Structure 1
């Protein structure tokens, strides 16, 4: 496997690199060394995902060894009712790489590229309950109904608690090397079906002590998702791959829909408030509610 020295960093690359790939990887390393933002483009077919992975992991490796080969979590899995337990500090001061793309199918391709490289950081892919749940009843649900059912069954002392959730602690303790080799969503599901632990909570527990985490965009953009991740964000490397539609995704995350029926009801309520405020002022000289304010709201 060829090795290239770029800005003082030895980068292992699975093939003989083109000139454009060397330039791309050099710019990635420059941004990391300078702790700066970078907007990088490369034509289709130039292997930019592999370049991005190799350059970033080579830089990270230069800071110190990866977490593979040992379990470095400071706390064991306690079976919290929340999606992720209370915040714990990272086991080392090395930055965590958060690699995001638009869809899980794209992330699957990124994991395949990682397998082709010479780097083996401790890693995990985060997914939703819809993708990872293996409970025979909860897995059939969707959205909030699935989330609420999962949380209910994962509470302690429930008569019909989720057996997959209760097996996570023992599995993580017996398998500290999970994530040392690249694993995808399907791999986590297969582990759950074969050995019993909940794939969703295995991934959630594993993410606390990884060198690189793979997730869809919304895990960084959506405040609720972002708050559930256990990272020191000021010491993390954030990568948005295939980011050409990132602006629209940000707009969607910061937006919500109001139905015409709801708007009609709001207008009716505002009109009723205007009438009440006018009536109170005429009857008892009550000026606590200004009808002009409700009129503005109605407008």
Structure 2
């Protein structure tokens, strides 16, 4: 396998690299070394994902070995845990965590296939939703908030219907410290859950704090709720958005919300009442503190939203 020295970093690449690939990887390493943001483009078919992975992992490896030693992983597992069962981020290591995101899980699956072609074997895990990872015979049939609420209910130890899959996660992670040393995908996590019993969803959540690279869809970083649940030390992380064509739209969706028409109708009614009150005060006491025109404008804008 060819090895290239780029900006002082020894980089293993599965094939003889094209000139454009070398330039691309040099820019990736430059941005990492200088701790700056980078917006990189390359023509279709030039292996952007493979270049991005190799350059980032080569730079990360130059800082220190990946977290694949048995003793280090056991120290993560046997150490203190959060109240929700998730593992704390490495206390003894200041090495950054790589967070690699793409738009969909199908694209992430392709990224992991590219990772398998490289010589790099960082500790890794893929995050997914309950809809993709839940194997409980009843909860897996639900969707959205109903599924989340049912999952939370069954994970409470005092309930009679305590989820057996959730209860097996901690012991399974403890007995399998090498999990994630080789590239695994969502389907692999589901297969592990079905064959060995632990919940794939909480298994990935337990593993994600002791990895070198974390794979997830964009919304795990953009959506405030998902981002907060990760408890990642963002100041010591490398954020990668691969194929970020739809990132702007996703950010807009995350910052948007829906208002029911009944609420808008009530706002229109209250604005009209404020207009009438302002006019009445002006006529009765020459009170000009409240301008009815302002409420009229507000009423017009809210009415426009209903059209």
In the superposition, the TM-score normalised over structure 1's length comes to 0.89
- 1:278 CA drift (Å): 8.3
What residue number does 1:126 align with?
127
1:1-299 equivalences in 2 (<5 Å)? 1-70=1-70, 71=73, 72-73=75-76, 75=79, 80=84, 85=86, 88=89, 90-272=91-273, 292=292, 297-299=298-300
- 1:274 CA drift (Å): 5.9
Say which SS state the counterpart of residue 76 (structure 2) adopts: coil
Say which SS state the counterpart of residue 73 (structure 1) adopts: helix
Residue correspondences, number: 292
Runs of at least 4 residues of structure 1 off by over 3 A? 74-79, 84-91, 259-262, 269-279, 289-299
Q: Structure 1's 78 and 163: CA in aligned 2 closer, same or farther, altered over 3 A?
A: farther
- 1:142 CA drift (Å): 0.6
Whole-Å separation in 2 of the counterparts to 1:9 and 1:230 = 31
Contact 1:77 1:169 in 2 (8 A): no
Which is worse superposed, 17-26 or 261-270? 261-270
- 1:87 CA drift (Å): 5.9
Whole-Å separation in 1 of the counterparts to 2:89 and 2:31 = 28
- 1:222 CA drift (Å): 1.0
- 1:270 CA drift (Å): 3.8
Provide the alpha-carbon RMSD of the alignment: 2.5
Whole-Å separation in 1 of the counterparts to 2:212 and 2:129 = 21
- 1:244 CA drift (Å): 1.7
Whole-Å separation in 1 of the counterparts to 2:100 and 2:165 = 28
Kindly provide the CA deviation profile for residues 205-253 of structure 1, in whole angstroms up to 9, marking residues without a partner as x.
Answer: 1001100000001111111111111221111100000012211111111
- Structure 1, unpaired ranges of 5+: none
Say which SS state the counterpart of residue 162 (structure 2) adopts: coil
Which is worse superposed, 263-272 or 188-197? 263-272
Contact 1:98 1:237 in 2 (8 A): yes
Whole-Å separation in 1 of the counterparts to 2:259 and 2:164 = 40
In the superposition, the TM-score normalised over structure 2's length comes to 0.87
